[in-house]
């Protein structure tokens, strides 16, 4: 087995969450990386044995690199994806694909012209319980999806942030960072083609001047509807409804949100807050290597309930609870031995087996369109009709 050779752009938070995947899955090998932080570059060479390059361009031009993993801030995705494609490299780019539909289209068309593949992730729609639910729906046993309910209460807005992460125009706030997860899950389970979005957003803290919450109603071309709520100001933690398992698949402290706010209160200014975030990421002085033991639950994005014609499917961190005329029973998901191995499953299927990606460019552009519609609907106080939607791949 020849591993896929990855070059990495950005060794920050997104990369930090993927470190257990890259260290544990032998199907990938990290051969090069660039990050502006010297400590992160040194840690990359020590941990992975790859080359710390001097620029993003150098990573994309490196002949040892087969795929480029773009894990830079949202607003940089378009330039880095285009650069990688022009060097003939396939791309795995973190969500969201971009901040505008025009940039999404540019990325898609550049990759197509170069003959390179484009996968968008990690998104929580890769999670094993989501993919299991998708298979259960596809079986037809419970009929068509009619309603999806998704809810998530987190401390998102009070985690350490760089200034641009609190500026919506630069991709800050929950519409880009968190709705990209939730809307991708909903679209995957409800058929993909969102027809309209009606949303309300919350900017409830003047010191964090971006959207920290939303609630939305989505209608689908197939007649399904979905309601989605996200509250990044949460004192309440919706992981209480997920068996006490946190988003990363490990047990969650009941007072985690209180601790997050307490840490932020100790920070004196924007620069100190940005530094705190950097030091907690890969290569920083406060970075904690991932636990050696494998989690006993899957990663998730909060409570999701899918109502079909003849049954309800409730996603849990370990599988799907089914409620139908026969009563209720549990369909277990296979907990990956390596966290986020589902991302590498798709990367491998595309890169080594020639399959089409599930989370390809056009699919992910449609998710970005929903996220943008959340913001526009709230601003205009009206329904937003969508134009770039595609059905969920078979």
Residue pLDDT, tens place only, 122-173? 999 999 999 999 999 999 999 999 999 999 999 999 999 999 999 999 999 9
pLDDT for 291 beyond 90: no
pLDDT for 292 beyond 90: no
pLDDT of residue 212: 98
pLDDT of residue 71: 98
Average model confidence (pLDDT) across the chain: 97
pLDDT for 394 beyond 90: no
pLDDT for 294 beyond 90: no
Q: What is the pLDDT of residues 23-59, one digit of tens each?
A: 999 999 999 999 999 999 999 999 999 999 999 999 9
pLDDT, mean of residues 375-392: 98
Q: What is the pLDDT of residues 223-282, one digit of tens each?
A: 999 999 999 999 999 999 999 999 999 999 999 999 999 999 999 899 999 999 999 999
pLDDT, mean of residues 365-384: 98
pLDDT for 72 beyond 90: yes
Beta bridge partners of 259: none
pLDDT of residue 1: 85
Domains contained in the chain, CATH given? 4-123+339-360 (3.40.50.720), 125-337+370-385 (3.30.360.10)
pLDDT for 293 beyond 90: no
Pairing of strands 51-52, 28-34: parallel
**What is the rounded CA–CA span in Å between residue 70 and residue 273?**
24
- Nearest C-alpha neighbor of 192 from the set 2, 5, 7, 360: 360
């Amino acid at each position: 087995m020849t591993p896929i050779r990855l070059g990495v752009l950005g060794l920050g938070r997104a990369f930090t969450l993927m470190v257990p995947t890259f260290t544990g899955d032998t199907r990938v090998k990290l051969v090069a990386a660039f990050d502006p932080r010297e400590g992160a570059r040194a840690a990359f060479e020590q941990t992975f044995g790859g080359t710390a390059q001097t620029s993003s361009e150098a990573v994309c031009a490196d002949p040892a690199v087969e795929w480029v993993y773009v894990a830079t801030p949202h607003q940089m995705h378009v330039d880095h994806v285009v650069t990688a494609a022009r060097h003939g490299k396939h791309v795995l780019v973190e969500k969201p694909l971009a901040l505008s539909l025009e940039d999404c289209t540019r990325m898609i068309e550049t990759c197509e012209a170069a003959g390179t593949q484009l996968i968008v992730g990690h998104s929580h729609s890769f999670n094993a319980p989501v993919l299991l639910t998708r298979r259960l729906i596809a079986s037809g046993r419970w009929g068509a999806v009619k309603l999806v309910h998704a809810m998530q209460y987190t401390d998102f807005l009070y985690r350490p942030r760089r200034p641009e992460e609190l500026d919506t125009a630069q991709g800050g706030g929950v519409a880009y960072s968190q709705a990209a997860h939730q809307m991708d899950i909903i679209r995957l389970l409800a058929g993909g083609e969102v027809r309209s979005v009606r949303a309300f957003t919350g900017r409830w803290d003047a010191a964090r001047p971006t959207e920290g919450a939303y609630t939305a109603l989505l209608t689908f071309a197939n007649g399904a509807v979905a309601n989605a709520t996200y509250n990044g100001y949460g004192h309440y933690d919706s992981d209480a409804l997920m068996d006490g398992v946190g988003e990363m698949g490990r047990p969650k402290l009941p007072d985690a949100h209180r601790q997050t706010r307490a840490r932020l209160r100790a920070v004196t200014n924007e620069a100190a807050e940005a530094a705190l975030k950097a030091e907690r990421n890969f290569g920083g002085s406060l970075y904690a290597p991932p636990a050696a033991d494998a989690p006993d639950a899957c990663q998730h994005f909060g409570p999701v309930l899918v109502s079909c014609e003849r049954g309800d499917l409730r996603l849990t961190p370990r599988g799907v609870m089914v409620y139908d005329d026969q009563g209720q029973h549990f369909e277990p998901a296979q907990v990956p031995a390596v966290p986020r191995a589902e991302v590498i499953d798709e990367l491998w299927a595309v890169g080594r087996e020639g399959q089409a990606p599930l989370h390809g460019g056009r699919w992910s552009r449609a998710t970005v369109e929903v996220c943008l519609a959340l913001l526009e609907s709230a601003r205009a106080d009206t329904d937003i009709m969508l134009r770039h939607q595609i059905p969920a791949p078979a």
